């Protein structure tokens, strides 16, 4: 369930647990057997996340490109270094098992949001982690090593102590350095990869000459990286923009404002693991939001419900084959 923030979080986990180590690679499902055999035995040397794609480099200029698509997921298991920000976003993560034998170091309790966050440094814990917005604690059956393969695992990467399983990706392939560069070159700016000011220039320049509706441009990964259907709807609402306005007709300062908003939202998303788009509310708007319903979004998935700001019914329509939610009154 990844928009850009998820991929950057996954990349962090690879950086902490895989990079610098030799891996045993396999394709239990069989569909990436050839690629896995090419990786097998090599050392991971660096990881990069750009937009919704992740690139993992191995010895001898062998790169793995992964795009999770809609269903893809990485599951980490074994003894992993837990990112404190990831731990803080998941109350159940790092839970000790009943026997209490499998956990090393200080681990947060089942209530979450305590020790790991406050320590501010990664700790080792033996856990099973789904790299989306949910994690599971440790059960006795998870102690088996290597972990039993469950379901369709396209690629398994094993170090001495860590297991990373990839399921259901849209893309999982090996690339040469030139191919990696070409793939990245086709992508629009990513606030966590590119210089913020340069990214703003690139984004604004492209939007300024496009007749395409701004609602489509925000989803176009060659225009800006990492924005998906949720962030698109929310950014448009926060900027009070009609999704149908041609890019070139959106005031330049508004376009730049949307980039800067994405910079902020992505940062929040990476730190919290959640697409929180109602963060910087004015006190008045905040009260209204809290009074209406326990939800994280302004308009996403709220078709038929009253706008949190003006009460107008939120509408849904198809744009670029995806559902677009917006407020016809606030977004003009």
Question: Which residues contact DNA (rule: CB under 7 A)?
Answer: 1-3, 6, 29, 31, 51-52, 67, 69-71, 73, 130, 132-134, 151-152, 154, 167-168, 170-171, 219, 221, 228-230, 275, 321-323
In this structure, what DSSP letter does residue 28 have?
T
Q: How far apart are CA 109 and CA 304, in angstroms?
A: 40
Provide the minimum distance between the beta carbon of 50 and DNA in the complex, in angstroms, as a whole number. Answer: 11
Q: Please answer whether residues 91 and 112 qualify as being in contact, where contact means their C-beta atoms are separated by less than 8 angstroms.
A: yes
Provide the minimum distance between the beta carbon of 157 and DNA in the complex, in angstroms, as a whole number. Answer: 16
Nearest to 49 by CA among 140, 180, 178: 180
Q: Of 158 and 166, which has the nearer Cβ to DNA?
A: 166
Our CA angle for 302, 257, 292, nearest 5°, is 25
Cis (ω within 30 of 0) for the bond into 85? Answer: no
Q: Of 69 and 148, which has the nearer Cβ to DNA?
A: 69
Region for residue 291 given its phi and psi (left: phi exceeds 0; alpha: psi -120 to 50; beta: otherwise): alpha
Provide the minimum distance between the beta carbon of 192 and DNA in the complex, in angstroms, as a whole number. Answer: 15
The 3-state DSSP composition of the chain as helix, strand, coil percent (nearest 5) reads 35, 20, 45
Provide the minimum distance between the beta carbon of 173 and DNA in the complex, in angstroms, as a whole number. Answer: 9
Q: Of 37 and 152, which has the nearer Cβ to DNA?
A: 152
Q: Of 171 and 239, which has the nearer Cβ to DNA?
A: 171
Q: Of 186 and 209, which has the nearer Cβ to DNA?
A: 186
Provide the minimum distance between the beta carbon of 1 and DNA in the complex, in angstroms, as a whole number. Answer: 3
Provide the minimum distance between the beta carbon of 154 and DNA in the complex, in angstroms, as a whole number. Answer: 5
Task: Give bridge partners of residue 165 from the DSSP assignment.
Answer: 75, 156
User: Which helix (DSSP H) or strand (DSSP E) does residue 196 occupy?
Assistant: helix 196-208
Q: Of 2 and 247, which has the nearer Cβ to DNA?
A: 2
């Amino acid at each position: 369930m990844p928009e850009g923030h998820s991929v950057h979080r996954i990349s962090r986990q690879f950086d902490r647990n895989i990079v610098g180590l030799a891996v045993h690679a396999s394709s239990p499902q069989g569909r990436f057997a050839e690629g896995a055999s090419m990786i097998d035995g090599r050392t991971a040397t660096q990881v990069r996340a750009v937009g919704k794609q992740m690139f993992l480099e191995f010895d001898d200029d062998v790169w793995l490109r992964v795009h999770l698509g809609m269903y893809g997921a990485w599951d980490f298991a074994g003894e992993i270094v837990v990112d404190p920000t990831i731990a803080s976003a998941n109350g159940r993560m790092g839970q000790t098992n009943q026997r209490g034998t499998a956990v090393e170091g200080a681990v947060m309790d089942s209530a979450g949001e305590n020790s790991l966050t406050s320590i501010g440094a990664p700790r080792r814990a033996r856990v099973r982690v789904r790299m989306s917005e949910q994690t599971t604690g440790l059960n006795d059956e998870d102690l088996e090593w290597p972990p039993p393969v469950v379901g369709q695992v396209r690629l398994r990467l094993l170090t001495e102590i860590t297991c990373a399983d990839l399921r259901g990706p849209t893309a999982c392939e090996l690339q040469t350095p030139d191919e990696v560069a070409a793939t990245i070159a086709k992508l629009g700016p990513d606030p966590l990869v590119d210089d913020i000011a340069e990214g703003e220039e690139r984004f604004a320049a492209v939007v300024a000459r496009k007749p395409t509706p701004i609602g489509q441009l925000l989803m176009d990964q060659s225009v800006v990286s990492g924005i998906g259907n949720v962030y698109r709807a929310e950014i448009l609402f926060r900027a009070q923009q009609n999704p149908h306005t041609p890019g070139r007709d959106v005031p330049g300062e508004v376009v730049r404002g949307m980039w800067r908003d994405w910079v902020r939202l992505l940062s929040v998303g990476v730190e919290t693991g959640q697409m929180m788009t109602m963060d910087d509310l004015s006190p008045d708007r905040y009260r209204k939001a809290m009074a209406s319903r326990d939800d994280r979004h302004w308009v996403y998935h709220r078709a038929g419900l009253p706008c949190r700001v003006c009460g107008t019914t939120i509408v849904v329509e198809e744009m670029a084959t995806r559902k677009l939610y917006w407020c016809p009154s606030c977004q003009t």
